[in-house]
């Protein structure tokens, strides 16, 4: 859980180089159909291009407040509250949502933003169940 919380802290400080270091070079971002620009994005460059488009294109400023974290195997569910100021409009924007970040060997290997906490918990439980069914990974 620590890696995930530290990644959010780095992002809130706009230290994107540090935030990037928390992700495995081949990390994947899986965006469900319930969110803008759904699809699978692979590698740090694509992942950060997606987030840069979302945050820096839409907002003059933003902050993600972590409301809670829960772990299911390697999957960390983070409930968060986004507060931002819309770029151009200056309108205040708030959004409650959640995400699932899968951590292996100290790095985030998969990020899965979700529309709400219930969806995030469902995704994390499914992932933990699949990982358990596959058994332990061989050490490389």
pLDDT at 51: 86
Regions in the chain scoring below 50 on pLDDT = 140
pLDDT at 59: 85
One DSSP character per residue, 10-52 reads HHHTT-HHHHHHTEEEEEEEEE-TTSSS-EEEEHHHHHHHHHH
Q: pTM here?
A: 0.89
Q: Domain 2-134, what fold?
A: Nuclear Transport Factor 2; Chain: A, (3.10.450)
pLDDT digits (tens, 9 = 90+) for 54-90: 777 888 888 999 999 999 999 999 999 999 999 889 9
pLDDT at 136: 64
d(CA 89, CA 106): 39
Domain positions in the chain are 2-134
The owner of tokens 């540090």 is: 18
pLDDT at 130: 86
pLDDT at 139: 53
């Amino acid at each position: 859980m620590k890696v995930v919380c530290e990644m959010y802290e780095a992002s809130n400080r706009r230290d994107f180089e540090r935030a990037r270091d928390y992700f495995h070079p081949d990390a994947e971002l899986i965006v469900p159909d319930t969110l803008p620009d759904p699809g699978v994005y692979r590698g740090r460059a694509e992942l950060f291009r997606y987030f840069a488009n979302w945050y820096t294109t839409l907002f003059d400023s933003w902050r993600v407040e972590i409301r809670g974290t829960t772990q299911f195997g390697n999957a960390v569910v983070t409930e968060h509250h986004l507060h931002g100021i819309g770029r151009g409009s200056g309108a205040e924007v708030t959004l409650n949502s959640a995400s699932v970040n899968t951590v292996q060997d100290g790095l985030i290997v998969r990020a899965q933003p979700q529309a709400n906490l219930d969806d995030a918990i469902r995704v994390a439980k499914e992932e933990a169940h699949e990982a358990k069914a596959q058994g332990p990974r061989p050490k490389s």
